[in-house]
Structure 1
Amino acid sequence: LSIPWAEVDEWWIGVVHYLACLSPTVFSVFYHLFMKYEGGASIYDTLLCFDMFGVCLVNTLGALPIIHITLLCYPSSRRVAMLSNVHRLQSFAWQVMFRFILLILRLTGAGRGSPASLRLYLTMDTLALLGGLVNIFRLPERVSPGRFDYWFNSHQIMHIMVILSIMYLHWGMLEDLTWLKGYHCPGE
């Protein structure tokens, strides 16, 4: 994951983006490394909270640069949307709806951002959704019990899809950062 720092005027976007990309990986590795530790339910629950914290961070921090760029020419709407991130942590349904609104803004031309990044963000969300659904429905273990206990089970597939999703988030952000360097809102 690299960012052309010399091309970026707003460095905070790059920092937040890096934190979003790395947080689920770091926290998930920590959880998986110690999940077999025999310390009882309280230790396991704490470790699971680390894993979920990484998921919350990627959803929240990953959205901040996208919100900033999509609502670039609407500073008051941008402030309200960014402040609502605390509330968005409380419900994934709200996150999906909020991302859909940002998508509609970009599709209709009311929102800003690189036209090339939209396809990458759609792929990102699709991969994340499919990874979650595979994990929830326990595919392929449900179809062939016992055959996928160690390799290519739903949990592993979900992690692969999440990593791919994060890569698409990164590529979309690179497109937006390049676009942002040369864009000025009308009337500026």
Structure 2
Amino acid sequence: MPGRTPGRSLRIPLVCFLVLLPLNIPWSQISVTWLGVVHFLACLSPQLGSVVYHLFMNLEGGEPVYHTLLKLDVCGICMINTLGALPIVYITLFCYPWVRTVSLLIYILLSTHAVYCAVTARSSVRRLRSFAWQALFRFSFFLLRWVGVGCGSPTSLRHFLMMDALAVLGGVINITRIPERFRPGLFDYWCNSHQIMHVLVVGSILYLHWGVLDDLLWINSYDCPSN
């Protein structure tokens, strides 16, 4: 059955993120500590949710148990969408404290609605669609950086764009069931769409980490214009 094998392989990135990520964050050089903490939790949450989901999904508890585990998995995705974007919003509006606070509150409220829509969605398509507004909100901040209105490291924007591109690609591949839809049975254990999606998600998290790390180090040497 496709999906059983990823439970084993997902433990490796979970352990790596749990142990190595805190060591890779230069805590002594970060001026806003809570951004580093939020970023660590964001990177860890989807791996933790997926491992729990795949580890217990074969329990003989029937449909209610399965849907509970699926909601835990979805919550992990929701957390990286929510917590992962907070440093991006904060640093983009670094020189506009009042606007920054309002934007963070709006994004948290928007994410709360997205979480509800995602955990109550009855199909994979609707579940993916639940994150659309979050993605558009983040993309608006990418545009602010691109036009020079928002702040941020010169190298972080390309990391964030690659992050979202890999995440969207993984979601589309998982929904369309490529490549197993063309050769049923051939990809039951290896190289099925679900496994490909998980590999792309890990890559997406790495790009998020590299981008946020660039930003967190960049704000230490950046002075906002006096006017």
After TM superposition, the score normalised by the length of structure 2 is 0.80
Aligned length: 188
Distance in structure 2 (CA, Å) of the matches to 1:155 and 1:64: 28
Q: CA deviation at 1:159?
A: 0.5
* Aligned residue in 1 for 2:102: 80
Q: CA deviation at 1:88?
A: 2.6
Q: Structure 1: which 5+ residue stretches go unaligned? A: none
Residue from 93, 96, 111 that aligns with 1:71:
93
1:30 paired with 2:69, answer no
Q: CA deviation at 1:74?
A: 1.4
Distance in structure 2 (CA, Å) of the matches to 1:100 and 1:11: 25
- Residue-by-residue CA offset, 1:119-152 (whole Å, 9 max, x unaligned): 1111111110110111011111112221111101
Amino acid at match of 1:123: M
Distance in structure 2 (CA, Å) of the matches to 1:86 and 1:150: 39
How well do the aligned residues superpose, as a CA RMSD in angstroms? 1.1
Residue from 165, 186, 189 that aligns with 1:126:
165
Q: CA deviation at 1:172?
A: 0.6
**1:84-99 alignment to 2 at 5 Å?**
84=106, 85-89=108-112, 90=114, 91-99=130-138
* Aligned residue in 2 for 1:8: 30
Amino acid at match of 1:28: S
Amino acid at match of 1:158: M
Q: Secondary structure, in 3 states, of the residue corresponding to 1:130?
A: helix
Distance in structure 2 (CA, Å) of the matches to 1:146 and 1:81: 47
* Aligned residue in 2 for 1:139: 178
1:60 paired with 2:82, answer yes
Distance in structure 1 (CA, Å) of the matches to 2:29 and 2:53: 36
Distance in structure 2 (CA, Å) of the matches to 1:88 and 1:51: 16
Distance in structure 2 (CA, Å) of the matches to 1:88 and 1:178: 27
Deviates more, 1:12-21 or 1:145-154: 145-154
Conserved 8 A contact 2:53-2:72: yes
* Aligned residue in 2 for 1:100: 139
* Aligned residue in 2 for 1:184: 223
Amino acid at match of 2:95: C
Distance in structure 1 (CA, Å) of the matches to 2:212 and 2:132: 23
Distance in structure 2 (CA, Å) of the matches to 1:51 and 1:158: 14
* Aligned residue in 2 for 1:166: 205
- Residue-by-residue CA offset, 1:34-66 (whole Å, 9 max, x unaligned): 000011111111111110110000000000000
Q: CA deviation at 1:86?
A: 2.5
Q: Structure 2: which 5+ residue stretches go unaligned? A: 1-20, 115-129
- Return structure 1 stretches of 4+ with deviation > 4 angstroms: none
* Aligned residue in 1 for 2:154: 115
After TM superposition, the score normalised by the length of structure 1 is 0.97
